[in-house]
Amino acid sequence: MRGIFYLAWRYLAWHRWKSLILVAAITLVVFLPAAIQVLVDQTAAQLGVRAASTPLLIGAKGSPLELTLNSLYLQSTPPASLPFSEVDMVRQQDLATPIPLYVRFKSQGAAIVGTSLAYFDYRGLAIASGRSMAVLGEAVIGSSVARDRSLSVGDHVLSSPESAFDIAGVYPLKMPVVGILAPSFSADDNAIFVDVKTAWVIEGLGHGHQDLAAPEAARAILKKDGDTIVANASMVEYNEITEANRDSFHFHGDYSQRPLTAIIPVAKDEKSAVILAGRYQARDDDVQLISPPRVMDELMATIFTVRQFVVAALSVVGMATALVVILVFLLSLRLRQSEMNTLRSIGGGRWHLATLAAAEILMVVVVSGALAMLLTWLTERWGTTVIQALIVS
Amino acid sequence: MMARFYLFLVVILCCAGCGDEEVSESNQRSVDGAVPVVVAVNYPVAFMAQRIAGDWLKVEMPVPADVDPAYWEPSVEQVVAVQQATLILLNGAGYASWIEKVSLPQEKLINTAAGFGEELLPLESVVTHTHGLAGEHAHAGYAFTTWLDLEQARAQATAVLEALIHLSPERRAELGENYNALAAEFQQLDQRWQLVGASLAKDGVVFSHPVYQYWQRRYQVSGPSVHWEPDLDPGDREWRDLDILLAENPIRWMIWEAEPMPGVRAALAKRGVESLVLPTVSNRHAGCDMMAVLLDATSLIERSL
């Protein structure tokens, strides 16, 4: 038997290109449906866990998927904003603790999440080094941001302008890193967290500048008319909040009208969640309460449907491939007729010849199967991150 | 408008009969969960919380006794300490602007003035300025000595009561009892101030600082305000301005936050203006609680009228 396997191996090695093509074809036919199955299942599980931990989400009326992706996965374009007064409204109902979210700005691609301290407790995020933000302008960064940018406590991060062509837009804000989160293996690892008020400063709703009533600001005054002072372009606006200038920072407009992208209402219990959901359903204004698990289930259902089509198509391709492989082997046997005659001449029986052909097929199939398993394992190990990024973007 | 920072003027009043002060300045709070810690941004709110709660929680006001809580700025360490509190009681009306510049747990913040937000008085005479895209705007706010209107003080105490009941529903009866006692004291003083106000309004009043807006509105005592510090001579210019004011308005009383310098008191008396002290009690007084300070001051005023 060893001789037969040796002959089969030598044949496959001699015709290496034909053998490699056969192995590659069979490997792909086995690997692709398995990989799709693994990726979809893992993505569904990961997205589902995050969604399941956020059963309710309040936002402005619009795409629930966009709201969910922005608020839970810190991706996608920002949804329409809702006023901060909504936080007070949730609080007054005494059914849930509202956690404000303002996920609009970025720093070198990383989402800047304007929120409150309650977010860290809610997501179970622990500070690995440093501390949580305490004063306006401070930032706590996710573990991946710290690792990728080699940042540590005491370094700074800079908010990115929303548009390179918006030269009249808000200044980038330089924020000291006061804390680094422990890895949570979630979207939070890739985010930068600031107080929601700091996010409003980034937007320009709050800012700090020279005291225009002070004598040293005389050069920055364009016009003075009674109690009204008009400043010129030379007025110094601060792009970093420091201990020295913190007092000069102030906000404009009504506090209750400042924008948020979402509110996570952490309901007291199941009953409170149901009551809250009911109250929002009864409202006919521009605010909606959605269920992220339901939104993600719908997204996953769409993906599962697509997967079924893809797997069905791949199955047909697999059958066709199997037929082609069989054809290749049959043609190969015909082309090898003289070789078979030689084997018969030196004493090889029909059984030996059949075993030799089977051994060749078996070796190709085993190698292909092993390769397909290896690739599936690699996909299981590292493929989810890639596919999740593809889905959410 | 008042300067952003100035040393708070310690009121030196006769404190006979004052009880022990219970509101703590300490930032070292228990984190073992055994004793809830309530942080208040000023003394009136801290006083209300302590009176209503009794001994089952610790009320702290992390502002040094010689600093006006309205203009106090905490260090990062102090902010981190405040973040650990069970409740953070705000005065409202924009009091303690540091609140806007720090990260505090939203769910712990209680705005005690929320119930009368519509009735807050905007500050007058603020500088409006224009720059950038923000358009014309002013860094102004509201008058914030809300508790000097004792009806508003009662509303703030009600907000404190509700927050404490929410924190400890099983103490509802005890808290309600304490609140009723405090509200009754507010009501009695309110009635005395109504009479004081009626008497003062007849003679004309000038205020040493523009911090009595709600007191003026509630007790119907109108009058101009100057910016005089009790521990400083106002200077020639201020005296000249006062003389002009006196020439235009019949004024017999000047209301001070604290006892003025003897020389200033005498110089005013020469002009026919008598000094009265009505402390704002924004910060704690050594050995005296808020009601004791206000009752003593009221008795002195009543005797003077």
Name the more confident of B3 and A134: A134
3-state secondary structure of A143: helix
Which residues in A lie closer than 8 A to residue B4 (C-beta atoms)?
Answer: 247
CB contact under 8 A, B101 and A91: no
- Expressed in percent and rounded to 5, the helix, strand and coil fractions of chain B are 45, 15, 40
C-beta separation of A116 from A195 below 8 A: yes
Which residues in B lie closer than 8 A to residue A247 (C-beta atoms)?
Answer: 4, 73, 101
Q: Which residues contact B248 (CB under 8 A, 6 or more apart)?
A: none
Q: Which residues make beta-bridge pairs with B254?
A: B206, B275
Q: Please return the burial class of B305, using the count of CB atoms within 10 Å of its CB with bins 0-12, 13-18 and 19+.
A: middle
- Between CA B54 and CA B24 the distance in angstroms is 14
Q: Which residues contact A209 (CB under 8 A, 6 or more apart)?
A: A231, A235, A236, A237, A238, A248, B131
Identify from B76, B95, B102, B103 which residue to disrupt to test chain A contact, counting A C-beta atoms within 10 A and taking the largest count: B103
CB contact under 8 A, B101 and A197: yes
Name the more confident of A183 and A228: A183
- Expressed in percent and rounded to 5, the helix, strand and coil fractions of chain A are 55, 20, 25
Residue A28 structure tokens: 């792909």
Residue B4 structure tokens: 């952003």
Tens-place pLDDT, residues A80-104: 999 999 999 999 899 999 999 999 9
CB contact under 8 A, B128 and A212: no
Tens-place pLDDT, residues B174-233: 999 999 999 999 999 999 999 999 999 888 999 999 999 999 999 999 999 999 999 999
C-beta separation of B25 from B91 below 8 A: no
Tens-place pLDDT, residues B121-168: 988 655 555 555 455 555 568 999 999 999 999 999 999 999 999 999
A271-280: b (≥16 Cβ within 10 Å) or e: ebbebbbeeb
CB contact under 8 A, A227 and B127: yes
Radius of gyration of chain A (CA): 32
- Between CA A233 and CA B80 the distance in angstroms is 37
- Between CA A100 and CA A87 the distance in angstroms is 7
pLDDT band at residue B14 using 50, 70 and 90 as cut-offs: very low
B182-193: b (≥16 Cβ within 10 Å) or e: bbebbeebbebb
Nearest to B266 by CA among B282, B254, B280, B279: B254
- Between CA B238 and CA B224 the distance in angstroms is 14
Q: Which residues contact B164 (CB under 8 A, 6 or more apart)?
A: B38, B49, B52, B53, B57, B87, B171, B175
Neighbours of B33 (CB within 10 A): 8
- Between CA B109 and CA B104 the distance in angstroms is 8
Q: Which long-range contacts (CB under 8 A, 24 or more apart) does A318-326 make?
A: A318/A29, A318/A30, A318/A33, A321/A25, A321/A26, A321/A29, A322/A29, A324/A25, A325/A22, A325/A25, A325/A26
Tens-place pLDDT, residues B175-188: 999 999 999 999 99
CA A331 to chain centroid, in Å, comes to 50
pLDDT at position B269 is 94
- Region of poorest pLDDT, from A32-41, A280-289, B60-69, B163-172: A32-41
Give the nearest partner residue to B103 out of A133, A204, A230, using CB atoms.
A133
Name the more confident of A184 and B38: B38
Q: Could you tell me whether strands A228-231 and A221-225 are parallel, antiparallel, or unpaired per DSSP bridges?
A: antiparallel
- Between CA A26 and CA A317 the distance in angstroms is 11
pLDDT at position B145 is 96
Q: Is B2 on the interface with A (CB under 8 A)?
A: no
Mean pLDDT of all residues in A18-45: 84
pLDDT band at residue A138 using 50, 70 and 90 as cut-offs: very high
Distance from the Cα of B131 to chain A's closest Cα (Å) equals 5
CB contact under 8 A, B83 and A132: yes
A101-121: b (≥16 Cβ within 10 Å) or e: bbbbbbbeebbbbbbbbbbbe
Mean pLDDT of all residues in A45-50: 82
User: pTM to 2 decimals?
Assistant: 0.78
Strands (DSSP E) found in B185-252: 205-207
Identify from B107, B118, B126, B136 which residue to disrupt to test chain A contact, counting A C-beta atoms within 10 A and taking the largest count: B107
Distance from the Cα of B50 to chain A's closest Cα (Å) equals 24
Name the more confident of A29 and A130: A130
pLDDT at position B130 is 54
pLDDT band at residue A325 using 50, 70 and 90 as cut-offs: confident
Which residues in B lie closer than 8 A to residue A197 (C-beta atoms)?
Answer: 100-101, 103
CB contact under 8 A, A116 and B101: no
Name the more confident of A335 and B235: B235
Q: Is B271 on the interface with A (CB under 8 A)?
A: no
DSSP one-letter code for A269? S
Distance from the Cα of B185 to chain A's closest Cα (Å) equals 29
Mean pLDDT of chain A: 86
pLDDT band at residue B30 using 50, 70 and 90 as cut-offs: very low
- Between CA B251 and CA B201 the distance in angstroms is 10
* pLDDT at residue A109 tops 70: yes
CB contact under 8 A, A134 and B128: no
pLDDT band at residue A146 using 50, 70 and 90 as cut-offs: very high
Which backbone phi and psi does B234 adopt, to 5 degrees? -65, -20
pLDDT at position A228 is 64
Give the nearest partner residue to A134 out of B80, B107, B139, using CB atoms.
B80
- Between CA A188 and CA A73 the distance in angstroms is 8
Q: HSE of B87 in the Cβ direction (CA atoms, 13 Å)?
A: 28
Q: To which H or E segment does residue B82 belong?
A: helix B76-83
* pLDDT at residue B246 tops 70: yes
